[in-house]
Structure 1
Amino acid sequence: MTKKNQKKIAALADIHIRTTDKGRWADCFTEISKKADIMLICGDLTDTGDEDEARVLAEELKSCSIPVIGVLGNHDYEKGRQKLIRQILQENNMIVLDGEGVVIADIGFAGIKGFGGGFDNYMLSMFGENEMKAFVQEAVDESLQLDRALARLDQDNPGIMKIALLHYAPIKETVIGEPEQIYPFLGSSRLVDPLHKRKVYAAFHGHAHAGQLEGVTSGGVKIFNVALPVLNNRDKKNPFYIFEV
């Protein structure tokens, strides 16, 4: 993009909205609207996966005057009400992606939740008990969903810049700081393949609260862990990351 057409994207994740958070985020969302053109929220929108928490978030988002795009996280699935949470937010002008893409300001955004499975040479393999195979298959399926969403963006908008939203991490670098024992539950290298295949410019995720803000894939894709605790360690007054494209 030329300087004239540059856009600012504000990204954050793991806001874990509770029913007691009424009014907590309004000022932040207002500030984001002043500093960015688009806001991304990368999962764990709610704290316990409750629809009342989603309604609180929907009310807080009324303070945001820019487009908001998000994906769900593992907390949003806790009570099995993820479809209702998504519906509530989408009825209140938030775009919640789950294997879909959307174009805003000449940028293509594709989003999935993602899943675990480990990284690089320590990825779990589809071998052994059915339960282990099902665990690995979930990461495979999420990766395929992301690939299809990015492919549709390419098909409908050849040459468009693409950005991916996930909740789980696609690389190890942005989860470093978490206990190594839980790496398999923080993300999966299987999520990297569609980023490389579809030439994604950058990807944002959360979930790893003690991880690192920035990383890069072996293919040069920029990765940002925008989990709220990571952002708070950087700047408590501005718990969001601004990315210019």
Structure 2
Amino acid sequence: MPDRLENVAPKDSARTLKVAAMGDLHVREDPRTSYRDLFGEISREAEILVLTGDLTNLGKPREAEMLAEDLRNCLIPVVAVLGNHDYESGAVDDVANILRQAHVHLLDGHAVEIEEVGFVGVKGFVGGFGSRMLGSFGEPAIKAMVSESVNEAMRLENAMRQVRAKRTLVVLHYAPIAETVEGEPLEIFPFLGSSRLAETIDRFKVSAVVHGHAHRGSYEGQTPGGAKVYNVAMHVAKPNGRPYALLEL
């Protein structure tokens, strides 16, 4: 069983909240694959489960239904954002509704407070990092891509302004920094996230940031402003040796 928690926020008068975070489940229409036992384990180890997108493999409602069925074995609150795979079949509204009916706090430019901790999230988008971030110049298709990236950052900022809790966990699918996608091929870095997300995060005081998407990325990094960032994609090695990270807020 897991025996290590990442302490990501200074202690204050509020009690510590144990959060399990995991991304990129890619649930398929395959009854042989189930997360039921893993969700049961997480319920014993943590008080909140955070899922960082790509919950389904092809964005099919049936895949979302199978995840909802497995989540019945999760006895703690669940907070989530969607990922790019969840949009694949053009049924994202159905996927989202199924998960909300399963009592998942699905964040899409929103915030929710649980046990005196604010959870705020958006999917995020592509665009690249640092000085090599894609700029709005040239063809309309490029400008549309940059506009979507900027829009996600603005939606994150609006959600952050809703938070009144002293402790905040930012939940994304795409990465806000390059450090946690290191290990992926350099050629696809621009498609794994955007520094615009980090620029927004650094305008606020946050306890930590979690994301997924980069299956071969690195577990830990930080924004230029010093916010701790964790890549919690299932495939990324974590200190506790499990598919999920354990964070202490």
TM-score normalised per structure 1: 0.94
Q: Is the 8 A contact 2:209 2:229 kept in 1?
A: yes
Query: Greater helix percent: which structure?
Result: 1
Q: Does 1:181 align with 2:191?
A: no
In structure 2, the residue matched to 1:239 is 243
SS of the counterpart of 1:5?
coil
Given candidates 221, 234, 237, the residue that maps to 1:215 is 221
AA at the equivalent of 2:245: Y
Name the CA distance, whole Å, in 2 between partners of 1:233 and 1:104: 25
Give 1:115 shift. 0.3
Q: Is the 8 A contact 1:169 1:175 kept in 2?
A: yes
Name the CA distance, whole Å, in 1 between partners of 2:14 and 2:183: 38
Q: More deviation in 19-28 or 91-100?
A: 19-28
Q: Does 1:146 align with 2:146?
A: no
In structure 2, the residue matched to 1:203 is 209
Give 1:23 shift. 6.1
AA at the equivalent of 1:242: L
Q: Deviations over 1:120-166 (max 9, x none)?
A: 0110000000000000111100000000001011xxx2x52111100
In structure 2, the residue matched to 1:101 is 111
Q: Deviations over 1:87-112 (max 9, x none)?
A: 00000111111000000010001110
Name the CA distance, whole Å, in 2 between partners of 1:21 and 1:42: 23
Q: Deviations over 1:160-205 (max 9, x none)?
A: 2111100000000000000110011000000012211121221100
Name the CA distance, whole Å, in 1 between partners of 2:13 and 2:247: 14
Name the CA distance, whole Å, in 1 between partners of 2:133 and 2:31: 38
Give 1:22 shift. 5.8
Q: Superposition pairs for residues 87-126 of structure 1, below 5 Å?
A: 87-126=97-136
Moved over 6 A (4+): none
* C-alpha RMSD of the superposition: 1.5
Percent identity between matched residues is: 45
In structure 1, the residue matched to 2:169 is 163
TM-score normalised per structure 2: 0.93
| Distance of aligned partners of 1:39 and 1:170 in 2 relative to their CA distance in 1, 3 Å threshold | same
SS of the counterpart of 2:236?
helix
- How many residues are treated as equivalent by the alignment? 239
Give 1:234 shift. 6.9
Q: Does 1:68 align with 2:78?
A: yes
Give 1:3 shift. 7.8
SS of the counterpart of 2:118?
strand
Q: Which runs of 5+ in 1 are unaligned?
A: none
Q: Does 1:85 align with 2:95?
A: yes
